[in-house]
Amino acid sequence: MISFIGRSIVQKTVTLFFVSVVSFLIIYLAPGKPSQIDPMNPKFTPEMVERFRKQFHLDEPLHVQYLLFYRDLFTGRTVSWKDNQPVLGKIWDRFLNSLPLFIVGTILTWTLSFPVGIRSAIFRGSTFDRGSTFVAYFLISIPGFFFAYLLIILVVTQLHVPVIGMQTFGLGDTSPVHMVMDRIWHLVIPSVLGATGGIAVLSRYVRGQMLEVEGQDYVRTARAKGLPSEEVHYRHALRNALLPFVTMFGLILPGLIGGSVIIESIFSWPGMGRMAYEAILARDYPIILTVNFLSAVLVLIGTFVSDVLYMAVDPRIRL
């Protein structure tokens, strides 16, 4: 176990190094440049462009730029080219905004997909199975932005609840209960929307896993022992069907930093996804590279967590 942890840390550090090099190169190879150093930009005189180039270390050779960038990142001194604010602080603020969406969305996805998928598999071919299959494919097929407008029309025009942004603008000093309810309403619609696709896909996946396991010999053995069908399904079959999802559980971690561009844009939600998207448009390299690096770190941590969880639930796996 100790040696596994040591090995993982070494391997993942090496991977991270290559990720940092490749992502840095790709950003600099991409066409276009920040507007501050664009000689065609009428807003800046050649002297100002030269000053920006110096400030951003763009006059240095590429490998020096690389080293300077990661030195600044690890010492927390990276600043956005757009507004000179510290990048980590900006990301942290946006992260706090995205976090509730992520948490509510993930909880909805994981708590709804499993009961639906398991029930569909156990009662295969039943009305419930057919109904949930139809709804799942419906939700998979419908574009997110279109579904979002359906929800907005429903909630805003029928229930008269505003849902754009993180809270109603200019609510001022109303009662705390009203404030909390307002925040919850603003949170629920984007979360539900973010979760629908996940619920549809994950519940199909759970159903497939469960069906496969139900056909295994050991499930027949469990029935041959005279176990009641609940124990056969929920103990012998489910325990095995859940194994692959333990791996997936570690991999939802990177979603923390990804956010969702579409949903955040539709609902004017100031989250991570929109910040990264806007940074790409503005060629704000420090933000793009930092978000990229942090998400690589989260992926690597996620795979490590998956490995450890897998070992905990599957006795056949020893690391």
Q: Does 229 interact with other proteins (rule: CB under 8 A)?
A: yes
Within 8 A by CB and 6+ apart from 280, the residues are 288
Minimum separation from the CB atom of position 313 to other proteins (A): 7
Minimum separation from the CB atom of position 243 to other proteins (A): 8
Q: Does 126 interact with other proteins (rule: CB under 8 A)?
A: no
Question: Count of CB atoms within 10 A of residue 145's CB?
Answer: 12
Q: Do the beta carbons of residue 301 and residue 5 sit within 8 Å?
A: no
Residue 43 or 316 having the CB closest to other proteins? 316
Q: Give dist(CA 187, CA 182) in Å, integer.
A: 9
Q: Do the beta carbons of residue 58 and residue 51 sit within 8 Å?
A: no
Among 220, 234, 244, 268, binds other proteins (CB under 8 A): 220
Among 126, 159, 225, 268, binds other proteins (CB under 8 A): 225
Among 94, 207, 233, 236, binds other proteins (CB under 8 A): 236
Q: Does 216 interact with other proteins (rule: CB under 8 A)?
A: yes
Q: Does 233 interact with other proteins (rule: CB under 8 A)?
A: no
CA-CA distances (angstroms) from residue 70 to 17, 25, 74, 167, 260? 11, 13, 6, 37, 26
Residue 257, Cβ density class (10 Å: 0-12 exposed, 13-18 middle, ≥19 buried): buried
Q: Give dist(CA 277, CA 288) in Å, integer.
A: 9
Among 54, 63, 77, 239, binds other proteins (CB under 8 A): 239
Residue 17 DSSP SS3: helix
Residue 173 or 217 having the CB closest to other proteins? 217
Minimum separation from the CB atom of position 132 to other proteins (A): 20
The residue ranges that bind other proteins (CB under 8 A) are 216-218, 220-229, 236, 239-240, 243, 313-316
